[in-house]
């Protein structure tokens, strides 16, 4: 079964801390991975994309990919209350078919 | 550059009716994808259109259909509406498609079926 799994949370962290969001996927052959942020009542917006094993950094965000273990994570450093949102992990290709599969999302709450 | 636009933003229909939703992609984007988002199922892929052709399709019944015009604008139609079709319908556009390209989402159409 083609799946993308995320812990629904909520994940609560204090302002200034590192928030760690995790995602596992079912197909070892998947090649590209995306993290989207969705504020309540709004549409998803892209945070990061990652295609190769290892880390990819963009400002306060770092995406980490481990294809052998089939997980991708998103680290948010110096978390701000404005980071409070639901974070969606997306895998465009699972099991050889291009049917983008999204995790259910992890709700992040950053408290002052 | 203008973002993805969707019309209407809100719709209320009754069971058995049909509905057509519209999506205008970012200028220059040739791929338009449609998604259904519900609290129970999350974000689910409906289909992707690229250059007026349906290129990929998710696991939804045939009541859900779409099309794309030569200017890349896309419409989605749902026939014989059911209560379970109540959802936020999102469209997303990209330059080359869903496999590796960044998708930009529109604000969505909130459909309520009574």
Average pLDDT of chain B? 94
The residue among B101 and A22 whose pLDDT is bigger is A22
Q: Does A94 have pLDDT greater than 90?
A: no
User: What pLDDT is attached to residue A68?
Assistant: 93
Residue B26 CB neighbours (<10 A)? 18
Q: Does position A29 have pLDDT exceeding 80, yes or no? A: yes
> How does DSSP classify residue B62?
T
B101 pLDDT tier (thresholds 50, 70, 90): confident
Q: CB of A104 within 8 A of CB of A8?
A: yes
Helix (H) or strand (E) holding A109, with range, is: strand A106-111
* A51 has a chain B CB within 8 A of its CB: yes
Interface test with A, best of B10, B103, B107 (most A CBs within 10 A): B103
Residue B4 has pLDDT above 70, yes or no: yes
Instruction: Give me the mean pLDDT over the B10-15 stretch.
Output: 97
Q: Which of A49, A93, A103 sits opposite B102 (nearest CB)?
A: A49
Give the mean pLDDT of chain A: 93
Residues A95-101, mean pLDDT to the nearest whole number: 79
Integer Cα distance of A80 and A101 in angstroms: 28
pLDDT at A72: 97
Q: Residue B4: closest CA among chain A residues belongs to which residue?
A: A43
Q: Do B113 and B85 meet the contact criterion of CB atoms below 8 Å apart?
A: yes
* The two structure tokens encoding residue A23: 């995602």
Closest Cα of chain B to A91: distance in Å? 9
A39 contacts chain B (CB < 8 A): no
Do A92 and B99 make contact, defined as CB atoms within 8 angstroms? yes
Q: Where are the beta strands (DSSP E) in chain B?
A: 5-7, 10-13, 19-24, 31-38, 42-50, 53-57, 64-68, 74-78, 87-94, 104-105, 109-113
Cα–Cα distance measured from residue A56 to residue B10, given in angstroms and rounded to the nearest whole number: 38
Q: What value does the mean pLDDT take over residues B34-52?
A: 94
d(CA B108, CA B23) in angstroms, rounded, equals 9
- Give the pLDDT score at A1: 61
Question: DSSP states of A21-89 as a string?
Answer: EEEEES-TT---EEEEEE-TTS--EEEEEE-SSEEEEETTEEEEEETTTTEEEEEESS--GGG-EEEEE
Question: Do A71 and A22 contact (CB within 8 A), yes or no?
Answer: yes
**Of B43, B102, B106, which has the smallest distance from its Cβ to A46's Cβ?**
B102
């Amino acid at each position: 079964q083609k799946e993308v799994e995320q812990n629904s949370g909520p994940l609560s962290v204090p302002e200034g801390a590192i928030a760690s969001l995790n995602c596992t996927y079912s197909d070892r052959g998947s090649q590209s991975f995306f993290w989207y942020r969705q504020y309540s009542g709004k549409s998803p917006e892209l945070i990061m994309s990652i295609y190769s094993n290892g880390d990819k950094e963009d400002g306060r965000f770092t995406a980490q990919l481990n294809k052998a273990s089939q997980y991708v994570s998103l680290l948010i450093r110096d978390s701000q209350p404005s980071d409070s949102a639901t974070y969606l992990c997306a895998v465009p290709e699972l099991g050889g078919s291009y049917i983008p599969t999204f995790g259910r999302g992890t709700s992040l709450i950053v408290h002052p | 550059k203008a973002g993805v636009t969707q019309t209407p933003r809100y719709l209320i229909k009754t069971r058995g009716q049909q509905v057509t939703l519209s999506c205008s992609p970012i200028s220059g984007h040739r791929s338009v994808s449609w998604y259904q988002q519900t609290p129970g199922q999350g974000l689910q892929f409906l289909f992707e259109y690229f250059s007026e052709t349906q290129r990929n399709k998710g696991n939804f019944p045939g009541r859900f259909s779409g099309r794309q015009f030569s200017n890349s604008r896309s419409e989605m139609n749902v026939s014989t509406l059911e209560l379970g079709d109540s959802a936020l319908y999102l469209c997303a556009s990209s330059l080359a498609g869903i496999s590796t390209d960044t998708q930009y989402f529109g604000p969505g159409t909130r459909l309520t079926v009574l």
